[in-house]
């Protein structure tokens, strides 16, 4: 602005000067440490084992800020030992005492909020307005909220125990907030922690370590080890870690899934996204434009849930694009510490180059790239807000997470087309839907596959509302009750004994002597000494009995070796057909809960009617007593889940804004189920029913000890109004079929009951599409006891929670 500018000119242009935040508190703190930091282990600072440090720099200037320790495997080991040593003492404290520590952390974060905000901004490059008004207040809120969970732990999670020592690995985009999302629930649940911050942004985690000292947190409860990916890897593979919680790229998430497969580590992954921002023609377009400023330019677009795909209804596309471009031209890119800056610096050169590379690919693919004519600072890592139009849905800029200030716009005509485009991604983290029609907005929100949907709003977060993804955005939730569950396990399950290598032997041990002393190789039917056996069992796919692809079958024998019949040897093709049939039956998820309950009651009725026949066949393998018990409890289990169908409900959260968030329980989709051998009937129902109750469709591999059960079950299913494709059954070698299910990209989750080897295989091979895998961890579950064999624990795994944020007020 030149010297002749009048006040009236200034008023008209709304131009303003610089308003830098005072960094002196943060600078003094850094200087106090001589700008060199060790690890925080066992309550004290310690130098790295191998004496190596690396630099962390200010992305707005590229100047070095400080040196931090490069953690080795030995450092990680020391930290894990410290966490293990602290665990007993931490758990011995009363819930109230733990709550007081969390409360004290919240207070301390608030007291030091200014210093923390500045540190975050200089280390990460995000505008001070964001770290001051969004990140740090949310950090404090997270600790307050979780002080509450710590206090209520026994009342709200009876029978649950903490996992133990938790390894946590966080990214660089919201460094302190991600720390809070990890540490607060872990401590509230009674775990101790080793956390590794991202290599680009370690400083606020170290500042947090100091807060732990200040409040007198018992040594070893929180340990911070700095370093790069290799440090993270050492934590992931450490044998004395009970759980890993990770936020970061999908690629590393996949590596962690594989690396933890052979262990019993519990795992939660919060990964990337390519979230749709859907604008309907009746939306308030000016508000939608402001929403986009938050949606894609918050934190320079380096946000896992950034609204990076703009889907506009065709009728308003031109108008919205024009408004958006006008707004983009007013965004201020500049020094992050300036309180008037809208867009700060990109975190690191490698990230800037990644953005540039992906944008260049988008241009090469023919999309139109537009950037406003606004100045960039002469130094530092900056990138202009960027809008792609004329984008093909398969283009790299529409499919890949760019993690930068780059928006890819596409158009749609109808709500159905909007949903199709929104779901045309491997991810499923978040979505934003803009319409003044509550019907349209909620209908579309319910159909988008994403863990969070914001209606007429975007990028809202609260400690009480779970956050996390569908599909390749990961599994597990952070925040709220769901988030607490990630750090807890049923106490009985942790202590359950291991499964014998061959559970078939267990079934044989209880076999009914009445089955007759036939010699191995003889047939019960040939001898005429037992009830007649259906020897022509087929696979059950899409509501039909079908022959297997291979044409081969396998024998099913009683415990004495009597041939009971033959079942098909299912293969990859049969599983593929079954998965397709399950995919076609997904309307089951939109059946009302009352309808699903009716079907389950009807199933119970029909199962009861066939009780005698079924029990007499099953008895040949498991003995009369067990067979009768399995039948009786299966009928009860059907009643239980019919009861749960309309009672396992979501919640309504009231975050501290003018919003409600609706926590909806949604089915996961198509789920593979590998049943226990030793309880052919009860095991089948115990695993299948919670899934079907939740609205999932299943592909089931029945008990290998008595796969003939399929013949009995399909008759019951056919007479009970279970829609074709909801329950599909493929017999064969469990390990082979498990592998196919685990590798199948259209299987959304896999429930597996078997020995350690089977469970590990399922987890390892699931990394491709990052499906949720839930196993018995090679342990025995007593399905005969309803306390262990049914209920909420199963239903929790059969659902995924979607939070739909709905604003209210003018």
Task: Work out which of 272, 451, 479, 695 binds ligand NAI, going by CB under 6 A.
Answer: 272
Residue 524 found at the interface with ligand NAI (CB under 6 A)? no
Query: Strand 36-37's sheet: what is its strand order?
Result: 36-37, 63-69, 53-58
| Shortest Å distance, C-beta 41 to ligand NAI | 18
| Shortest Å distance, C-beta 247 to ligand NAI | 5
Identify the burial level of 47 via C-beta atoms within 10 angstroms of its C-beta, where 0-12 means exposed, 13-18 middle and 19 or more buried.
middle
Residue 232 found at the interface with ligand NAI (CB under 6 A)? yes
Query: Sign (positive/negative) of CA torsion 534, 538, 540, 545?
Result: negative
| Shortest Å distance, C-beta 778 to ligand NAI | 24
Task: Work out which of 148, 218, 229, 583 binds ligand NAI, going by CB under 6 A.
Answer: 229
Shortest CA distance to 337 belongs to which of 129, 172, 138, 139?
A: 129
Structure tokens that stand for 491 in this block: 């106490």
Residues 484-523 that bind ligand NAI (CB under 6 A): none
Neighbour tally for 290: CB within 10 Å: 13
d(CA 130, CA 13): 24
Taking a C-beta distance cutoff of 8 angstroms, is the pair 556, 504 a contact? no
| Shortest Å distance, C-beta 306 to ligand NAI | 10
C-alpha distance from residue 316 to each of 281, 313, 322, 417 (Å)? 6, 6, 10, 15
Which residue number, 68 or 716, has a Cβ lying nearer to ligand NAI? 68
Which residue number, 243 or 637, has a Cβ lying nearer to ligand NAI? 243
Residue 233 found at the interface with ligand NAI (CB under 6 A)? yes
- Residues facing 277 on adjacent strands: 310, 432
486 is catalytic: no
Residue 247 found at the interface with ligand NAI (CB under 6 A)? yes
Taking a C-beta distance cutoff of 8 angstroms, is the pair 770, 472 a contact? yes
d(CA 115, CA 106): 15
Helix (H), strand (E) counts: the chain: 31, 32
As a residue count, the chain comes to 810
Which residue number, 303 or 726, has a Cβ lying nearer to ligand NAI? 303
Pattern of binders to ligand NAI over 568-587, x per CB under 6 A? --------------------
| Shortest Å distance, C-beta 174 to ligand NAI | 8
Shortest CA distance to 501 belongs to which of 365, 361, 677?
A: 677
- Residues facing 514 on adjacent strands: none
Residue 696 found at the interface with ligand NAI (CB under 6 A)? no
Pattern of binders to ligand NAI over 326-365, x per CB under 6 A? -------------------------x--x-----------
Neighbour tally for 13: CB within 10 Å: 10
Which residue number, 171 or 680, has a Cβ lying nearer to ligand NAI? 171
Task: Work out which of 47, 138, 215, 255 binds ligand NAI, going by CB under 6 A.
Answer: 255
Identify the burial level of 392 via C-beta atoms within 10 angstroms of its C-beta, where 0-12 means exposed, 13-18 middle and 19 or more buried.
middle
C-alpha distance from residue 112 to each of 132, 210, 515, 681 (Å)? 11, 11, 75, 59
304 is catalytic: yes
Taking a C-beta distance cutoff of 8 angstroms, is the pair 413, 391 a contact? no
Which residue number, 167 or 565, has a Cβ lying nearer to ligand NAI? 167
Which segment (252-260, 414-422, 434-442, 708-716) binds ligand NAI by CB under 6 A?
Answer: 252-260
Phi then psi dihedrals of residue 239, to 5 deg: -75, -15
CB-nearest residue to ligand NAI: 232
163, 212, 304, 697: which one is catalytic? 304
Task: Work out which of 169, 189, 324, 627 binds ligand NAI, going by CB under 6 A.
Answer: 169
| Shortest Å distance, C-beta 251 to ligand NAI | 7
Which residue number, 253 or 789, has a Cβ lying nearer to ligand NAI? 253
Which residue number, 358 or 374, has a Cβ lying nearer to ligand NAI? 358
| Shortest Å distance, C-beta 655 to ligand NAI | 21
Which residue number, 272 or 428, has a Cβ lying nearer to ligand NAI? 272
Residue 236 found at the interface with ligand NAI (CB under 6 A)? yes
| Shortest Å distance, C-beta 348 to ligand NAI | 8
Q: What is the DSSP letter of 369?
A: E
Contacts of 747 (CB under 8 A, 6+ apart): 579, 670, 671, 672, 699, 741, 769, 771
Residues 14-73 that bind ligand NAI (CB under 6 A): none
Task: Work out which of 42, 220, 248, 672 binds ligand NAI, going by CB under 6 A.
Answer: 248
Size of the site for ligand NAI (CB under 6 A): 26
| Shortest Å distance, C-beta 138 to ligand NAI | 15
Which segment (102-110, 163-171, 378-386, 723-731) binds ligand NAI by CB under 6 A?
Answer: 163-171
Task: Work out which of 249, 424, 522, 719 binds ligand NAI, going by CB under 6 A.
Answer: 249
Which segment (227-235, 482-490, 724-732, 764-772) binds ligand NAI by CB under 6 A?
Answer: 227-235
Contacts of 66 (CB under 8 A, 6+ apart): 30, 33, 35, 36, 37, 55, 56, 203
190: phi > 0 → left, psi -120 to 50 → alpha, else beta; which? left
Residue 179 found at the interface with ligand NAI (CB under 6 A)? no
21, 199, 270, 482: which one is catalytic? 270
Taking a C-beta distance cutoff of 8 angstroms, is the pair 269, 476 a contact? yes
What secondary structure does DSSP assign to 12-56, as a single string? HHT-----BPP-HHHHHHHHHTTTEE-EEETTEEE--TT--EEEE
Residues 297-316 that bind ligand NAI (CB under 6 A): 304
Residue 550 found at the interface with ligand NAI (CB under 6 A)? no
Question: Quick one: which H or E segment has residue 117?
Answer: helix 113-124
| Shortest Å distance, C-beta 250 to ligand NAI | 7
Identify the burial level of 28 via C-beta atoms within 10 angstroms of its C-beta, where 0-12 means exposed, 13-18 middle and 19 or more buried.
exposed
Name the maximum alpha-carbon separation found in the chain.
111
Residue 171 found at the interface with ligand NAI (CB under 6 A)? yes
Residue 735 found at the interface with ligand NAI (CB under 6 A)? no
Pattern of binders to ligand NAI over 190-219, x per CB under 6 A? ------x-xx--------------------
C-alpha distance from residue 529 to each of 517, 534, 650 (Å)? 10, 15, 53
Which residue number, 406 or 448, has a Cβ lying nearer to ligand NAI? 406
Question: Quick one: which H or E segment has residue 530?
Answer: none
Neighbour tally for 519: CB within 10 Å: 9
| Shortest Å distance, C-beta 800 to ligand NAI | 17
Residues 387-446 that bind ligand NAI (CB under 6 A): 401, 403
Which residue number, 306 or 673, has a Cβ lying nearer to ligand NAI? 306
Decide: helix, strand or coil at residue 692.
Answer: helix
| Shortest Å distance, C-beta 270 to ligand NAI | 6
Taking a C-beta distance cutoff of 8 angstroms, is the pair 646, 594 a contact? yes
Residue 718 found at the interface with ligand NAI (CB under 6 A)? no
Which residue number, 341 or 351, has a Cβ lying nearer to ligand NAI? 351
Task: Work out which of 173, 299, 634, 665 binds ligand NAI, going by CB under 6 A.
Answer: 173
Name the residues that contact ligand NAI, by CB under 6 A: 169-173, 196, 198-199, 228-229, 232-233, 236, 247-249, 252, 255-256, 271-272, 304, 351, 354, 401, 403
Residues marked active site are found at 270, 304
């Amino acid at each position: 602005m030149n010297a002749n500018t009048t006040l009236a000119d200034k008023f008209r242009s709304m131009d303003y000067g610089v308003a830098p935040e005072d960094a002196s508190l943060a600078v003094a703190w850094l200087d106090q440490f001589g700008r060199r930091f060790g690890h925080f282990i066992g309550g004290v600072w310690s130098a790295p084992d191998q004496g190596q440090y690396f630099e962390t720099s200010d992305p707005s200037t590229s100047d070095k800020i400080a040196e931090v320790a490069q953690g080795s495997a030995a450092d990680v080991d020391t930290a894990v030992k410290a966490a293990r040593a602290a665990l007993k003492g931490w758990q011995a404290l009363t819930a109230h005492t733990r709550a007081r520590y969390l409360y004290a952390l919240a207070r301390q974060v608030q007291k030091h909020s200014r210093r923390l905000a500045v540190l975050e901004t200089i280390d990460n490059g995000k505008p001070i307005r964001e770290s001051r008004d969004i990140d740090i207040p949310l950090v404090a809120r997270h600790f307050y909220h979780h002080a509450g969970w710590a206090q209520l732990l026994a009342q709200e999670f009876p029978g649950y125990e903490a996992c133990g020592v938790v390894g946590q690995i966080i990214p660089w985009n919201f460094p302190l907030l991600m720390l809070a999302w990890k540490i607060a629930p872990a401590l509230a649940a009674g775990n101790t922690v080793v956390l590794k911050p991202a290599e680009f942004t370690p400083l606020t985690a170290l500042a947090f370590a100091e807060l732990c000292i200040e409040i007198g947190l018992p040594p070893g409860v929180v340990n911070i080890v700095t370093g790069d990916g290799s440090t993270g890897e050492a934590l992931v593979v450490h044998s004395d870690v009970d759980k890993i919680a990770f936020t970061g790229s999908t690629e590393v998430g996949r590596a962690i899934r594989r690396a933890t497969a052979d262990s019993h580590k519990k795992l939660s992954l919060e990964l990337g996204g390519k979230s749709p921002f859907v604008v309907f023609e009746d939306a308030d377009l000016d508000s939608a434009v402001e929403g986009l400023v938050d949606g894609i330019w918050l934190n320079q677009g380096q946000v896992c849930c950034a609204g990076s795909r703009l889907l506009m209804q065709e009728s308003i596309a031109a108008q919205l694009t024009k408004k958006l471009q006008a707004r983009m031209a007013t965004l201020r890119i500049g020094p992050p510490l300036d309180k008037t800056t809208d867009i700060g610096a990109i975190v690191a050169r490698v990230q800037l180059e990644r953005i540039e590379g992906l944008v260049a690919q988008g241009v090469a693919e023919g999309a139109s790239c537009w950037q406003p004519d606004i100045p960039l600072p002469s130094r530092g890592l900056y990138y202009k807000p960027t809008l792609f139009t004329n984008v093909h849905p398969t283009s790299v800029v529409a499919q890949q997470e760019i993690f930068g200030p780059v928006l890819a716009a596409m158009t749609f005509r109808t709500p159905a087309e909007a949903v199709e485009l929104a779901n045309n991604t491997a991810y499923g983290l978040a979505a934003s839907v803009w319409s003044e029609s509550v019907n349209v907005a909620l209908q579309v929100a319910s159909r988008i596959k994403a863990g969070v949907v914001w209606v007429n709003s975007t990028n809202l977060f609260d400690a009480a509302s779970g956050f996390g993804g569908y599909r390749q955005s990961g599994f597990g939730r952070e925040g709220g009750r769901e988030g607490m569950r990630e750090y807890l396990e049923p106490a009985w399950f942790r202590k359950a004994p291991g499964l014998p290598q061959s559970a078939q032997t267990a079934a044989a041990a209880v076999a009914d002597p009445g089955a007759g002393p036939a010699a191995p190789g003889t047939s019960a039917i040939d001898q005429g000494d037992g009830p007649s056996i259906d020897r022509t069992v087929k696979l059950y796919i899409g509501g039909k009995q079908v022959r297997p692809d291979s044409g081969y079958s396998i024998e099913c024998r009683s415990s004495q070796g009597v041939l009971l019949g033959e079942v098909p040897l299912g293969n990859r093709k049969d599983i593929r057909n079954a998965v397709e049939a399950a995919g076609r039956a997904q309307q089951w998820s939109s059946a009302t809960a009352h309808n699903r309950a009716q079907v389950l009651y009807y199933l119970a009725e029909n199962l009861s009617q066939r009780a005698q026949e079924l029990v007499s066949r099953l008895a040949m393998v498991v003995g009369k007593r067990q067979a009768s018990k399995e039948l009786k409890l299966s009928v009860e289990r059907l009643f239980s889940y019919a009861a749960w169908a309309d009672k396992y409900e979501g919640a309504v959260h009231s975050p501290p804004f003018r919003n409600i968030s609706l926590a909806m329980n949604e089915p996961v989709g198509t789920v593979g189920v590998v049943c226990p051998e030793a309880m052919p009937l009860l095991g089948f129902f115990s695993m299948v029913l919670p899934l079907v109750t939740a609205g999932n469709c299943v592909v089931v591999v029945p008990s290998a000890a008595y796969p003939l059960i399929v013949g009995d079950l399909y008759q019951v299913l056919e007479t009970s109004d279970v829609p074709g494709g909801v329950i599909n059954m493929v017999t064969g070698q469990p390990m082979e079929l498990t592998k196919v299910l685990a590798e199948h990209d259209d299987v959304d989750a896999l429930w597996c009951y078997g020995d350690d080897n089977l469970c590990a295989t399922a987890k390892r091979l699931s990394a491709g599409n990052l499906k949720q895998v839930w196993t018995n961890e090679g342990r025995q579950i007593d399905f005969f006891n309803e306390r262990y064999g049914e209920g909420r624990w199963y239903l929790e795994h059969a659902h995924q929670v979607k939070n739909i944020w709905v604003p209210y007020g003018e």
